[in-house]
Each structure stands twice: as C-alpha cells, then as structure tokens.
Structure 1
Amino acid sequence: MVLSMDRWTGKVAVVTGASSGIGAAIAEALAKEGLQVVALARRKDRLEDLTKKVNNQKGRIIPIQTDISVETDILNAFTWIRNNLGPIHILVNNAGVVPPFSGILDGQSESWEKLYKVNVFGLCICTREAVKDMQENKINGHIVHINSIMGHEVIKRPYLTLYPSSKFAVTALAETLRLELMNHKSKIKITSVSPGLTDTDILTGAKKESRHKILEPQDIADAVLYVLSTPPHVQIQELTVRTLLHD
C-alpha cells in the first residue's frame, strides 16, 4: 500500500474545533501538506494566531469564527466556503466539549444540552453539509470523526460525566454514515479516529490522574494524515490511538 497526500494538494479541508489542541495540530499538519484549511472555532484570537503560525507553509489556513453548537453559524460557514473557495474534499469533525460535572442523577439540563449540541448535533450538521457539497461536485472526499476511546468503553472517572455517551454516539454515527454512503454507492470515505488520553485542555482532570506519558496533539494529527494518505480503494473505518503504556 502506497501512502501519499499528493491528491489532496490545493484542495479544501474543513477542521472544526481548530483553535487549540488536536484541532490546531490537524489544521497545521494539513496546511503543511499544501491544503487550503478552513479552521472553524469560537475563539477568533486563537484562530488568528494559528493562521500566522503557518503563514509560510505550502498551504494556508482560513479562519472562520464559528460556534459548532449553533446551526446557523455552521450553515453560514459552509456557504462562505462554497462561495469563496470551491468544493470541500476533507472534513475533520474535531470540535468537542466536556461540560462541568453534570451526572444523570444530579445534572443540569443546560449542561447536557451543550454537550450533545457540540459533540453530536454539530458533528451531524457539519457532516451533512460537507457530504452534500462533495456529492454535488462529484468529489470522492473523506470525513474524519475525532472520536475517543471513551466512544468504545465507559471509564470510571466521575468528572467525565455524560461525555462517553456522546462519544458512543459518534461511534454509531460513523458506522451509520458508512452504510448510508455505501447504499448510495458513494466513494466518500468515513474514518473514526479514537485517541486515548491526549494533552489538551479538554481533559485536565484525566491528565493529572494518568500514571503514564499521554499522547500529544501531533500524534493524533499524524494519525489523521495516515488515514488520508491511504489509496482510494482503502478505507480505515476505525483507528484507535493509545500510548504504549496506557491507563
């Protein structure tokens, strides 16, 4: 199997939650490979800093301030991309939140709503819009969901609350999308990438608790480049990334 990113050079990639951590690492890695990377996130200042950081790469980063929990924000962003950059070839659904402790027995509805709006509904809306664009332009693109090992197993860590349930949904949604695309005889790929504990802002409590070295955002960016580098006939459905000595 020959791995190559050449066919994506100059193409448009959309990365959600791109202002820091895994999303920022993925956006930077794709820009280095020569893609036009649309970085979506709420924190405009972080997006602008990221844009300056990759100014001299083969590709570029185009920041669009977007709240993934707000459908109109997403739709406006995708409309701008279609009107100004052309068809989308890659979507990386990375945006995710872990709200303050909000368990089933004593949680707040607002906290639950925020969790699912970003981790599930926002992911679905972005996927729908990207796939629609790919199909209209006959693009054999690639959708990547940044999932989690907690999308496959519930870990007994109380501060994570309902987070695993949102990631279990991502696991199911990736397979649902694969089946829908197959039913349409589409050559668009879907990959779920499930990292273990990673050094980002989202899991501060887990970082402190971990007994071993944890993953870096660049490790996950490298995993995304790997799945994107596979030949057109190869689809990596699920890629789990852990440290060698994991918790």
Structure 2
Amino acid sequence: MGTVKAHLGPARTALVTGASRGIGRHLAVGLADAGLEVALLARDADRLGDVAREISSRGGKAVALTADVTDRHAVDRAVSAAENALGAIDLLVNNAGLNDAEVPLWEADRDEVRRVLEVNVYGAFLLARAAVPGMLSRGGGRVVDLSSGSGTRDMGVTFGYNAAKTALFRVGGGLHEAGYSRGLRAFEVAPGVVATDMTEDMAAHADRTDWTPPEAVVELVTAIADGQLDSLSGCYLRAGSDTVDELRARAAAAADGAPTGRRLTVSDWEVHPAAR
C-alpha cells in the first residue's frame, strides 16, 4: 500500500448528510460545538435553515446545502459548494438513510426497497466519490458511515435496510484499503438505537426504554474528527456500547502494532440457531 501517512491533523470542517433531523442534526450541531465548520446536506431546505440558525446562535459556522443524495449532479454541486464555502471537507459523515417496512423479503415493496438501497448505499458512494478526491489531494481526510448492528446479522424483516447497512461495510472497507496509505481514514459507526422519527415508528422498538443517548454518538464521531481513533480506521465502532475511553486505548494498542479491530467477515462453520 505504499508509505503510510504518519499523522493526520484534526478535522477543521465536516459535511453531514441527513442533517435536517434526527441523528444527523445532533451530529451537525455537536461537531459545530466542537469547533468544526459544518456543511449541512438534506432535501428539506426549511429544516436545514433551522439547523444552520441553531449552529449560528451557538457561535458556530454552517452552510446549508439542499440536495438528494441519489442525484449525482446535485451531490457534485453540493460538495463543490461546501468546498467553496469552507475551503475543504476534512470529514464526511454519511448519515442520510431510509428504512423499509417490517415485513419479510417476499412481502417487501419493490420500489420501497430500491429507494432504500439507493439512498443508503448509492448515496453514500456518491458523497464519497465526490468528496474523497479532494481529501486525498490535501493529504487525507476521514469518512464516517452511519451503519447498524442489523447489517452484521441475519434478520427476518426490513430487507432493504439490513442489506444496505451490510453494504456500507464494503464502502468503508474499500476506502480504508485503497486510501489508508494516502491519509484516508474510514469508519463504520453504529449509533445504537437513538429515539428518532424513524425508530419510534418501528414495531421492533415499540416497548423500548433503553434508548441510546444522541450525545454518545456525537462524542464518538467527534473523537474520530479529532484524530483520536485514526489507527482504528476500517473498523466497526458502536456508540452506546464502545466508550470513547475504551476506543482510545484500543487505538493506542493498534498504533503500537498490537492486533485490534472489529470488521465484518465470514465466520467459521457453525450450527445455525434455527437448526438447534
């Protein structure tokens, strides 16, 4: 892979997709509170404006960019506008995502599943495709994909969402493998189960009381932005389960050459639970 870049400085700017509501909004405001200048990307201009004004009222800087993440031309224009406004994009947070109905695959709506895959996977690809070349030209950058534990195991419902979250592991893993030696760092981050419009409408969480606080997600992504976890590039990190202190210790061990990392791989042969 060539010579590995020894150190990448803390991120100064970030682009957050799906920033108009839910986890994306928390991340945008939290990163701005941490001192980053933030580009906000979503389809709802009014909601984006509210987030930008909130960041401004807290002393931060934000630029609102209206775009559909599945529109390659709109994405290219948005990334260019973000770079013109902020000077660079040091951190890309692929947060935009949709869920599909909680039914088995053979009952799933074809068009709904296609849209979920387009937004969650193709959208993340388009954003990385547009933003990463600029990062590499400046010596590196960081990409965070908001993934999910549902992408690591078989589930009987929400096929589109689960397949999309599994695919994101290949997005982040590919970026890590091809870009690490050039200063690129990539992370798959599961936010746990944060109370949002999407999760609160899901039957799977109807009786849930142990929601993941959004602050845990913000703390983890802020640590990534600051460079504290760079040696865990290519890994799967879990907000609300992994603490930042634990991850710092793992990162230090990885920097010293000790084996570490959590990645999506094929397990050895085992008896499937359904057969027991």
Q: Same fold (TM over 0.5)?
A: yes
Aligned twin of 1:53:
54
Code of the residue aligned with 2:193 in structure 1: it is L
- How far apart, CA to CA, are the structure 2 residues paired with 1:197 and 1:84? 33
Aligned twin of 1:3:
none
Aligned twin of 1:27:
28
- How far apart, CA to CA, are the structure 1 residues paired with 2:169 and 2:132? 18
Code of the residue aligned with 2:22 in structure 1: it is G
- How far apart, CA to CA, are the structure 1 residues paired with 2:160 and 2:107? 12
Q: TM-score, normalised by structure 2?
A: 0.77
Task: Report which stretch shifted further, 17-26 or 82-91.
Answer: 82-91
Report the 3-state secondary structure (helix = DSSP H, G, I; strand = E; otherwise coil) of the residue aligned with 1:39: strand
Report the 3-state secondary structure (helix = DSSP H, G, I; strand = E; otherwise coil) of the residue aligned with 2:106: coil
- How far apart, CA to CA, are the structure 1 residues paired with 2:50 and 2:139? 31
Unaligned runs of 5+ residues in structure 2 are 1-8, 243-276
Conserved 8 A contact 1:215-1:242: yes
Report the 3-state secondary structure (helix = DSSP H, G, I; strand = E; otherwise coil) of the residue aligned with 2:206: helix
Code of the residue aligned with 1:105 in structure 2: it is W
Aligned twin of 1:162:
160
Report the 3-state secondary structure (helix = DSSP H, G, I; strand = E; otherwise coil) of the residue aligned with 2:107: coil
Give CA-to-partner distance per residue, 1:9-38, whole Å, 9 cap, x none: xx3210000011110011001111221100
Taking structure 1 as reference, are residues 199 and 232 closer, same or farther at Cα in structure 2, changes over 3 Å only? closer
Conserved 8 A contact 2:172-2:186: yes
Residue 231 of structure 1, CA deviation = 4.1
Match of 1:228 among 209, 214, 225: 225
Code of the residue aligned with 1:178 in structure 2: it is H
Taking structure 1 as reference, are residues 53 and 82 closer, same or farther at Cα in structure 2, changes over 3 Å only? closer
- How far apart, CA to CA, are the structure 2 residues paired with 1:177 and 1:114? 24
Size of the alignment, in residue pairs?
231
Report the 3-state secondary structure (helix = DSSP H, G, I; strand = E; otherwise coil) of the residue aligned with 1:63: strand
Aligned twin of 1:127:
128
Report the 3-state secondary structure (helix = DSSP H, G, I; strand = E; otherwise coil) of the residue aligned with 1:73: helix
Q: TM-score, normalised by structure 1?
A: 0.85
Taking structure 1 as reference, are residues 69 and 235 closer, same or farther at Cα in structure 2, changes over 3 Å only? same
Aligned twin of 2:273:
none
- 2:61 paired with 1:72: no
Taking structure 1 as reference, are residues 102 and 66 closer, same or farther at Cα in structure 2, changes over 3 Å only? farther
Conserved 8 A contact 1:152-1:171: no
Conserved 8 A contact 2:113-2:159: no
- How far apart, CA to CA, are the structure 1 residues paired with 2:232 and 2:50? 34
- How far apart, CA to CA, are the structure 2 residues paired with 1:131 and 1:42? 22
Alignment of 1:41-190 (within 5 A): 41-100=42-101, 103-136=104-137, 138-156=138-156, 158=157, 160-182=158-180, 185-190=181-186
Give 4+ residue runs of structure 1 displaced > 4 Å after superposition.
none
Conserved 8 A contact 1:207-1:214: no
Aligned-CA RMSD value: 2.2
Code of the residue aligned with 1:162 in structure 2: it is G
Task: Report which stretch shifted further, 14-23 or 108-117.
Answer: 108-117
Aligned twin of 1:37:
38
Conserved 8 A contact 1:39-1:62: yes
Task: Report which stretch shifted further, 114-123 or 55-64.
Answer: 55-64
Code of the residue aligned with 2:211 in structure 1: it is I
Residue 99 of structure 1, CA deviation = 2.9
Conserved 8 A contact 2:101-2:108: no
Conserved 8 A contact 2:114-2:160: no
Give me the identity figure in percent.
26
- How far apart, CA to CA, are the structure 2 residues paired with 1:32 and 1:223? 14
Residue 103 of structure 1, CA deviation = 4.4
Task: Report which stretch shifted further, 91-100 or 228-237.
Answer: 228-237
Q: Which structure's CA Rg is the greater one?
A: 2
- How far apart, CA to CA, are the structure 1 residues paired with 2:118 and 2:103? 15
Code of the residue aligned with 2:195 in structure 1: it is D
- 2:201 paired with 1:198: no
Residue 232 of structure 1, CA deviation = 7.8
Taking structure 1 as reference, are residues 129 and 167 closer, same or farther at Cα in structure 2, changes over 3 Å only? same
Report the 3-state secondary structure (helix = DSSP H, G, I; strand = E; otherwise coil) of the residue aligned with 1:234: helix
Residue 243 of structure 1, CA deviation = 5.9
